[in-house]
Amino acid sequence: MAVHEHLEDLSRRIPDGALLALPPEYSFVPMDLVRALIRRGIRDLHLLSVPIGGLAADMLIGAGCVRVMEAAAVSLAEAGPAPRFSEAVRTGAITMRDSTCPAIHTALQAAEKGVPFMPLRGLIGSDIVRHRDDWTVVDDPLGGGGGPIILLPAIQPDVAVFHAPLADRRGNVWVGRRRELVTMAHAARATLVTVETVQDDDLLGDETTAAGTLPALYVTAVAEAARGCHPLGLVGHYDADAAHIAAYAREAATAEGFRDYLDRTVFDSAVRAAS
């Protein structure tokens, strides 16, 4: 059964230097937990976006929390480039491990299945292969004339995190159609989840929710955090705050503007909430 905790306690379960898996912008991003990590001053993360990073990754990078970034892309979508990520790559403040969407999902599936690697062919011919010395190109090992194939080492995150609409008292978490969250939880050593609300009824005991529920077996701890995705959206609950994200893109274009943003939305807001 998953443990139920407060948000700040949840953040303390993620150690410095952890390989931390984050979902993409459209898929239940735990922004309140990201803000708690920044307040805590976490450092040296290997941040894995599954598979595309956005606001959460940019904020963690800008706050000096990230040593390695692994993703298929990092951007703020309609709001433009991710400014703190772009600056960190230019200055060498982080190490960027370029990947692709299928490669990240495949490597997580290897960890999910408990095997050391998984094959993938679609990368053959891409320049990205030359920059990944941990990927191995081999001839078809079954000798069927299939040509070269790439072996991707399994990625097992130390911690996977996401925000969800609902959990129950047992620690089962409803994720609906967001199957990448299930893969993340299966692959990771620990999974930490923030939720809008916790209900008494068993999510796995109801036919209408069971198919979209991640069992508590794969959930380490849960914390309630109302509107925990904001300023990103949570499908079926609230929309993304496009004006807030656009303002962030403008403000975070400079280090000083980014620090002002953190002071106002991460540090000052926490003090006001506690008072």
Three-point CA angle 250, 41, 171, nearest 5°: 100
- pLDDT per residue as tens digits for the range 158-215: 999 999 999 999 999 999 999 999 999 999 999 999 999 999 999 999 999 999 999 9
pLDDT tens digits, 236-264? 999 999 999 999 999 999 999 999 999 99
The CATH number of the structural domain formed by 14-99+156-164+175-192+229-274 is 3.40.1080.10
pLDDT at site 273: 52
| 40-88: pLDDT as tens digits | 999 999 999 999 999 999 999 999 999 999 999 999 999 999 999 999 9
Dump the DSSP string for 152-197.
EEP---SEEEEEEEEEETT--EE-TT-HHHHHHHHHSSEEEEEEEE
| Domain positions in the chain | 14-99+156-164+175-192+229-274, 117-153
User: How does DSSP classify residue 81?
Assistant: B
Q: Using alpha carbons, list the distances in angstroms from residue 122 to 5, 74, 129.
A: 42, 21, 11
pTM value?
0.95
